[in-house]
Amino acid sequence: MIWQTSRFQISLEQPRVMGIVNVTPDSFSDGGKFFSPGSGQRAAFAHCDQLLKDGADILDIGGESSRPGAPPVPLDEELARVLPVVRHAVRLGVPVSVDTCKPDVMAAVLDLGADIINDIWALRQPAAAAVVAAHPACGVCLMHMHREPQTMQVAPMQGDVVSPVLAFLAGRASELRAMGVAANRIVLDPGIGFGKTVAQNFELLARQRELLAPGYPLLAGWSRKSSLAAVTATSLASAAQLDVTDRMVPSVMAAVLAVDRGARLVRVHDVRETVQALKVWSAAFAVPS
């Protein structure tokens, strides 16, 4: 199985680790850590370099937080945050993904050589799908999100979660195919934490193989999500106060479980630990039964 992207054909015969580079002041996990004028860009460059040393296969750069309640970022601000980091990352010899929903940002980063558009809106913003369809080879990740970041956890989904998520993702992929985008350019993401309850997030993990039915590779993004804190803390109150660094082990566990249930890519903050865990998972299948 190959994921066709702008500059790379990424083999998904083995699971791939996408390292997160948040160039934002307000992301839920590491907001502000790699963002500030001047020195913040250097920190983001160094973070890209370190993630590759840790074993990341893909870098995913984002300039707008999608945490619940996050306010929208103006176009010029997002461009100012993202473009310098993309310019650095595309020189590192690995696939570069950009996490954005804005068509103008998509066009700008693709012009710089970015390989993948990773869109939490699944290209539903006006003209977004047209930007991707007009590109000859870029990869795209389509994610399911209930409502929007400002309201998704105020009124999350109700009832069965797998069927509507599957129908949405299959539908968005079909619409993109109808615009001329080849199937091997498309990856799907069920959107863990994006408008789902804790129970629904874990239902998506337990029944994840059902999401493989449309035939596209699946990306799982469990890293440091609050659902992990909810099941590992003693109460929801303590989960809300749990330091995100305490979510590393649960995050790695969720990534391995997602891969074991068919995900071909995992988007993570803790790259080194996830890579090590997946090597253990892979070794188990190399032993003759």
Distance of CA 22 to the CA centre of its chain: 11
Catalytic pick among 185, 225, 247, 261 = 225
**Rounded to whole angstroms, how far apart are CA atoms 269 and 17?**
10
> How crowded is residue 218: how many other Cβ atoms within 10 Å of its Cβ?
24
Distance of CA 52 to the CA centre of its chain: 17
> How crowded is residue 136: how many other Cβ atoms within 10 Å of its Cβ?
8
Measure the CA angle with vertex 281, ends 280 and 282; round to 5°.
90
Whose tokens are 């998704």? That residue is: 152
Residue 225 appears among annotated catalytic residues = yes
Helix axis angle, 75-89 relative to 103-111, nearest 10°?
A: 20
Active site residues per annotation: 225, 267
